[in-house]
């Protein structure tokens, strides 16, 4: 257990539905990252927060994806109008610098 928690651990949803995932980072970590990982691939960067500010966002993130970190603590990742291609593991990581990122256990999304 790295101290980063994610909820839910698993989510099954029907195509077209909206889903929201939550990440609680290690309390003193000001940086928070979201990644997406499909089977057999390494994690792909989605977005990065420093405190409450979203400083980087991948071009992979379509308009259907949005992330927030309202008080610089927990973060949410929302996917609107889910598609089957959104099925993946969504990983959250936190850190005090860009080097040592601590990953959560991930949320496994299955879109049927």
The residue among 57 and 80 lying less far from another protein, judged by its C-beta, is 57
Residue 103 and residue 7: Cα distance in Å, rounded? 13
CA distances from 89 to 7, 8, 109, 111 (A): 12, 11, 6, 12
Judged by CB under 8 A, the chain residues 20 through 79 that form the site for another protein are 31, 33, 35, 40-45, 48, 50, 55-56, 58
Closest approach, Cβ 96 to another protein, in A, equals 13
Examine residue 110 and tell whether it contacts another protein (CB under 8 A). Answer: no
- By residue count, the chain amounts to 112
Segment 78 to 97, residues that bind another protein, using CB under 8 A: 91, 93
- Angle at 11 (CA atoms; ends 7, 110), nearest 5 degrees: 140
Task: Kindly tell me which of 42 and 85 has the beta carbon lying closer to another protein.
Answer: 42
Give the other-Cβ count within 10 Å of 83's Cβ: 12
How far apart are the C-alpha atoms of 112 and 103, rounded to whole Å?
A: 27
Output 9 or 15, the one with its CB closest to another protein: 9
Residues that bind another protein (CB under 8 A): 2, 4, 31, 33, 35, 40-45, 48, 50, 55-56, 58, 91, 93, 98-106, 108
């Amino acid at each position: 257990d790295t101290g980063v928690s994610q909820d839910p651990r698993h989510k099954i949803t029907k195509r077209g539905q909206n889903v929201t995932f939550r990440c609680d980072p290690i309390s003193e970590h000001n940086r928070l990252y979201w990644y997406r990982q499909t089977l057999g691939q390494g994690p792909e960067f989605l977005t990065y927060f420093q405190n409450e500010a979203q400083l980087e966002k991948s071009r992979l993130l379509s308009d259907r994806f949005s992330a927030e970190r309202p008080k610089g603590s927990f973060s949410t990742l929302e996917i609107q109008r889910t598609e089957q291609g959104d099925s993946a593991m969504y990983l959250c990581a936190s850190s005090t610098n860009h080097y040592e990122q601590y990953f959560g256990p991930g949320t496994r999304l299955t879109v049927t």
